Structure 1
Amino acid sequence: MSIRPFQLAVSTEQLDDLHRRLRALRLPDTLAADSWDDGTDAVFLQRLLEHWSNRFDWRSQERRINRMPQFLAEIDGQTIHFVHQRGVGPKPLPLIITHGWPGSFLEMERLLPLLTDPAKYGGDAADAFDVVVPSLPGYGCSPAPTRAGISSKQVAGLWASLMGELGYDRFGAQGGDIGAGVSMWLARNHGPHLIGAHLNYIPGSFRPSLEGEQSALSEDEQGFLARSAQFAAIEGAYATLHSTKPQTLAFALADSPAGLAAWIVEKFHAWVDHSGDLEHVVPFDTLLSDIALYWFSGSIQATLRLYKENRQNPLIFEAGERVETPLGVAVFPKEIPMPPRSWVERVFNVQRWEHMPRGGHFAALEQPDILAEEIREFFRPLRR
């Protein structure tokens, strides 16, 4: 495996092409311009696109991003981009953190220093981590897979190989959204290498064996399944499309920055913990850095297709199957449907299950201080 330093460098031609498209955009008619009921709010999107076209400075964002220590690794024929920040402390614990969709490694930018140098932020140096933040294949700076069959299960294998190559025989894992699924696959298939796994989401594809007995479900578990079904019916069209016909949508999103922004920002508006003002929690420049990363990557199809791969490789467990790797879960109040602890304990060795005071689906981006402290608390007893 070869590992080499990396710096993000978008070409002038790419920037010029983006601005031409933003100047020539054509927006659809709408019955209610200032409403999210039918999807992305047209007024909000116009403000976001105007900011992107006239005030957003990609070069400034690029310089900031490049202050993070970034690398590329070749693993089993797949190029993987990752950030590797070493900890400041007596014995930093190796930790790999995985993002999801429509996020990127940029979600972890404010979380990184809190984990790698806790003493600098009022914490204990003994809680320091060596943090690795890879970009999922096809996301951001990791090129798209050149073959089918790369689901979260296979990504977990890539991550285990990456950590081994970095010299970490045993390490912790953390993640939300798709990253939670990757972390659960790490615990399931690479348990001897895993100290523990911490999640801020439980993927909807996770299913313990119920041995055919519906009566075995608790009232809380039945409520979770009902909420999940309601979410799928009202909010889940995006996931159904991603997991069945991702190529069709990719034609539109790869050609239109406005369409890409509308598709992504709807999920930030729906899943971030805010009181009606998304910008107060996630500023336009932060939103646009993430959206621009998707645009410049040129591999939107791969990010959508991962849903299809995961549908074909679901996180379903057989009767009696157990995963003994210690698991911790942080439940944020504005998260999309989460199961009760008993649902996860049917399979996993849950050692910590904590409810957070605020925050939503993008926990590292929204509440990095809260998430960092929770990660420290979970791994503290496991360091021994």
Structure 2
Amino acid sequence: MTNTTEIRPFRLDVSDADLADLHARLDATRWPTPLPGDGWDTGVPTGWLRDLAHYWRHAYDWRAAERELNSHPQFTTEIDGQNIHFLHVRAGDAYSDALPLLLTHGWPGSIVEFLDLIGPLTDPVAHGGDAADAFHVVIPSLPGYGLSGPLNEPGWTMERIGAAWAELMHRLGYERYGTQGGDMGGTVSPAVARVAPDRVVGVHTNGGPGPIAPYPMPDDERASLTDLERDRVARIEAFMQEEFGYIAIQSTRPQTLAYGLTDSPVGQLAWIMDKFREWTHPREADPDTVVDRDRLLTNVMLYWLTGTAGSSAYAGYAQAPAWGAVKEISGVPTAALVFAHDVAIRRYAETENRITRWTDVDRGGHFAALEEPELLLADVREFFRDLR
């Protein structure tokens, strides 16, 4: 890697002019005519999105969100030629045995996903926990995402991100640490362990570390599945038929997509809300009834304010040559907390990971830290207790 190792303090300070521009664009939105029924089957309903956009324009308080983000120490550094932004919150002096924990988000998420976990992880006693479960937390923005964007060059595969994260932890002085993540973070977290198996003590994933079941699946293989596994395979098949369009676009034409999402805040809002509706649980519920509206909008703001719709989509483009390649097993203990929405199946995950803990639950969706923070927190604490 070629880099400068300086770690620079960072503080969010969005200009009034940028916020005024956002408000003007929201006011000038050119709304489409609702399709018949105006339901979720054809995309984000116009009536629902109008209401959320009105809230964004007239009730949402970015300055409050900015203050919350700035209440945590933030930094930037350059790794392998790429700007990397991260939160770094250490447990207090009373927690002398705190374990460093690297948390990685996915798409269309951000560091915002983990804000409600920072306090319980770094100060467990103040949040009803045990002092022995304290963590120092490091929460980077993925390359090309939000405050780490834009991308400077191609080739940011999961493996390259894993190597960058191992370098980041080394720079911070952490030679022994755990990793955790979901979505892309669920793939990056074991990638860090493959790069630094002697430093990563454990990998915790929500949704599973991959790979998922093969598609299409041969009939004889399907016959060997349990009822739960067959349900997950059926949902993979439904996803490939009904929801794969966004991957097809983002992994082949990310720049074409970026023009619309970077120019229209409602376009960016709709693109992200579509996934929050499909991937939160229960699916039938509007996403703002599952996740707080302000959290949803703060997540969208990090894409909007940084203009990183294209470079975050490009992360999918960068993975294309590696799809289907079998990854080596790092040997690091790995946990999967699999929620009701998720589709991970243990037998397939074990082909690339040393699974030592697997927990299936009947609630929760793709955005675990936002939907089921207490359940995620409890599972993380329990998994790492024997690995400290």
Q: TM-score range by the shorter chain?
A: over 0.9
**1:40 aligned residue:** 44
Secondary structure class of the residue paired with 1:149 = coil
| 1:311 CA displacement | 2.0
Match of 1:361 in 2: 366
Computed over aligned residues only, the root mean square deviation of the Cα atoms, in angstroms, reads 2.2
| Distance in 2, Cα, partners of 1:168 & 1:53 | 42
Q: Deviations over 1:323-377 (max 9, x none)?
A: 3110000011123xx2321111223211110123531100001111111110001
1:310 aligns to 2:291 (yes or no): no
CA contact (8 A) 2:34 2:45 kept: no
Q: Does structure 2 retain, via aligned residues, the 8 Å contact 1:138–1:145?
A: yes
* CA shift in 2, pair 1:282/1:266, >3 Å: same
Q: Is residue 2:289 matched to residue 1:301?
A: no
Mapped to 2, the partners of 1:339 and 1:295 lie a distance apart of: 31
Map of 1:17 onto structure 2:
21
Distance 1:219 1:102 in 2: 31
CA distance in 2, matches of 1:226, 1:282: 26
Per-residue CA deviation, residues 29-88 of structure 1 (Å, 9 max, x unaligned), is 222354101000111100011111111121122112111111111212211110111124
Cα offset for 1:115?
Answer: 1.0
Paired letter, 1:219 = L
Hey, which bits of structure 1, 4+ residues long, moved more than 6 A? none
Q: Which of 97, 105, 108 is the equivalent residue of 1:102?
A: 108
Q: Distance in 2 between matches of 1:53 and 1:284?
A: 13
Identity over aligned pairs, percent:
43
- What is the rounded CA distance, in whole Å, between the counterparts of 1:171 and 1:32 in structure 2? 52
| Paired AA for residue 370 in structure 1 | L
> In the aligned structure 2, how far is the partner of 1:216 from the partner of 1:367?
33
Instruction: Check if 1:131 corresponds to 2:147.
Output: no
- Distance in 1 (CA, whole Å) between partners of 2:323 and 2:212 is 8
Describe the SS at the equivalent of 1:14.
helix
Change (3 A) 1:215 1:187: farther
Alpha-carbon separation, structure 1, partners of 2:286 and 2:236: 26
Query: What code does the residue aligned with 1:147 have?
Result: E
Residues 281/227 of structure 1: CA separation in 2 closer, same or farther (3 Å cut): closer
- Render the CA deviation track for 1:100-134: whole Å, top value 9, x for unaligned: 01110010000111111111111110110111000
Q: Give the deviation of 1:265 after TM superposition.
A: 0.6
Counterpart CA distance in 1 for 2:324 and 2:375 is 28
1:149 Cα deviation (Å)? Answer: 0.6
CA contact (8 A) 1:80 1:137 kept: yes
Which whole-Å deviations, capped at 9, do the CAs of 1:185-218 have from their partners, x for residues lacking one? 11223212210100002366x3699xxx996774
1:194 is matched with 200
Does the 8 A contact of 1:178 with 1:203 survive in 2?
no
Q: Is 2:155 the partner of 1:149?
A: yes
Residue 75 of structure 2 corresponds to 71
19-28 or 187-196: bigger deviation: 187-196
Q: Deviations over 1:191-246 (max 9, x none)?
A: 12210100002366x3699xxx9967742467655542321111121112111111
| Residue of structure 2 equivalent to 1:329 | 336
Partner of 2:285, secondary structure, is coil
Q: Which residue is equivalent to 1:57?
A: 61
Gaps of 5+ in 2: none
Gaps of 5+ in 1: none
> Contact between 2:145 and 2:308, CA under 8 Å: does it hold in 1?
yes
AA aligned opposite 1:228:
I
Matched residue type, 2:306 = S
Which residue in 2 is equivalent to 1:288? 297
Residues 82 and 45 of structure 1: is their aligned pair in 2 closer, same or farther, counting only changes over 3 Å? same
Contact 1:90 1:125 in 2 (8 A): no
Contact 1:99–1:175, Cα closer than 8 Å, also in 2: yes
Q: Is the 8 A contact 1:207 1:316 kept in 2?
A: no
**How many corresponding residue pairs?**
377
User: Matches of 2:152 and 2:51 in 1, distance apart?
Assistant: 37
